Structure 1
Amino acid sequence: MALESIEPQKLKLYNYWRSSCSQRVRIALNLKGLDYEYKAVDLSKDEQFDPEYEKLNPVKYVPTLVDGEVIVADSFAIILYLEEKYPQHPLLPKDLKKKALNIQIASIVTSTIQPRQNLPVDIDFIEGRFDLDKKLLWAQHYLNKGFTALEKLIKDCAGKYATGDEIQMADVFLEPQIHAGISRFEIDMSKFPTLARLHEAYMKITEFQAAVPEIQQDAPTGS
């Protein structure tokens, strides 16, 4: 008797349209050519606190990846998982120096910049105590600080993309942060010519275009 073929389970990505953490995972999935089911978690309605979602992600943030029986929360962990399991279009180079640079850039984005503009961490704290102008200035301060460091780090090593002529992990983390800086936080990108040039390059790539927040299925109309 012939065995029935078992179809692999489709990846599921629990994410939010405007989350830069979610955007970077969407880019990585697209670059690796991985089909996935888009599961929207509306942060504006506090859906991340739903008990069913908490079972997947105890920290109650986005994104969360479900790959069969494997559940991975946190965008950095998800991308490293994808890199190990799905080696097509590798995002980390074999050269140790360049690999370390890619990880360093990703770490600056995730630890120095993004948390300071993160909705449940600092922005809500600031908004509850100060006016909207102060809220914007708070985010701009940390974005400018981080972008200044990134500009210095990559200006002499960037090629077509952040660390050379191949799209790698640094690019996956940089673009969502640059996009947020421009679209949400009014950052003057003329101060960061390398980052501005990279943004233009990313926006010509289909896999990056498909991950843009404003075109996601849960994005509000006219966003």
Structure 2
Amino acid sequence: MLNRKNLARTSFGAVATLAIGLLATAPADADTFVPLPGGEVVKTLSDGTVVTVRLVGESADINPSLGSTPVHRNAWVSGTAQVELAGTGAEAGGLIIPGYTVGCQVNIAGGGAGGGVEGASDWEGNASVGASTSGELSLGPGQAKSFYILDREKADDFGNESHKVYNVFSGGSGSVAWADQTIGLTGCGGYAQARAFVSVEIVTDSVTSWVTLWGQPFSLG
């Protein structure tokens, strides 16, 4: 006979079984939140203009096995790039170009864009070095690529659509913030890394110069 006490025991057993089942089917590879230190670089130009570039509030939320295969990885990255000018060209303004470099089984931890980084070997004086504006990348061992965060659509002088990878700031300071920018990597069967960069162009009355800040490399799994 099923009395109230037996019914309570039966219900408790069903709930416990359900809870165990939910635990058993939980995903094995949970997302990993990685706070990153950002960084700062200060450069004095030849005319006395002091350029300070900062990367603050940087983080990555990493899913190491998107698609349940070892060659798929996915991450969502966030951060803010800040620029301050002082000295001779304190009101010059400039351009801010943020992005990321991603490598598959290649060292991208150097002081610049070395290590086989495709399209990012010379940031000084050249901001259009072939990097894409998409974070969806396919890389094999020993390969690395860079991509820009920004993809601003605007009409050119002839009314045609053009895409800009920079943010313009005027006066002595400017910033660009991004949140949950996707890095999707396929084809990499080994370890993979990524790192942020912020490239800044400053044009004063007497000098044109580039300053690049590199963030700390972090693992994509």
Normalised by the shorter chain, which TM-score bucket? under 0.3
Larger % of strand: which? 2
| TM-score computed with the length of structure 1 as normaliser | 0.23
Larger % of helix: which? 1
